[in-house]
Structure 1
Amino acid sequence: MRAHHTIVHGEKLGDSQQRTNSTRQTVLDRDEYTCQRCGAAVSSTDETGPNYNVHHIIPRAAGGPDHPDNLITLCTDCHTQVHRELESIVDERPEILESLRSFLHNMSE
């Protein structure tokens, strides 16, 4: 999981947990505490802890910014599924990450 996280997100797992609470809160408020994939309500006060993740739409490894426009709220189950799908894409088509990096680089010029 840690290696996958580094490949897909371009950061160590611990680093992603340093995302500011204000950014995370902005995304949760905007998404109305609802998973943007399945529509389930999410909570930060579940008895086992938060049942959601704030997820990068364009992976950080591809140059995706740590900005609310590139973040969505996903329930834990959907987040796991999205990462499985991304992992298979990265394994099968690594050029996709390079294409995203190139696209974002060209946008910033």
Structure 2
Amino acid sequence: MELEIDLTVENGIQYFKVTGEIDAYTAPSLKERLESVQDEIGIQVELDLSGVSYMDSTGLGVFVGFYKRVTASEGHMKITGLNARLKRLFEITGLDEVMEIESEKGGTQNATI
């Protein structure tokens, strides 16, 4: 399955809408797209994964790397739209304790950063 990544910027926040499956085949294109974001102090990013039907550990690695880059620039990254399966993936890896995550049905988990 193809992976689509759309970027819009509104009020200084970069919104990424990701649609498709994130796996070993598609993760490199996601990583490349996220790496194209300019490093700037205090960058604000929101990643909407409501259109993602599947993700493996390769995808998690891409988000961890991007999270580290954003926080190194004193920025903030929020992941939204996780379905139950993806939310569980973030929970079993402990990433829900590190990153700010909002599931499809709302309910933001505020991480201690």
- TM score, norm. by length of structure 1: 0.24
* Larger relative helix fraction: 1
Task: Give TM-score scaled by structure 2 length.
Answer: 0.24
| Greater per-residue strand proportion | 2
Q: Higher RCO, 1 or 2 (CA under 8 Å, sep at least 6)?
A: 1
Larger Rg: 1
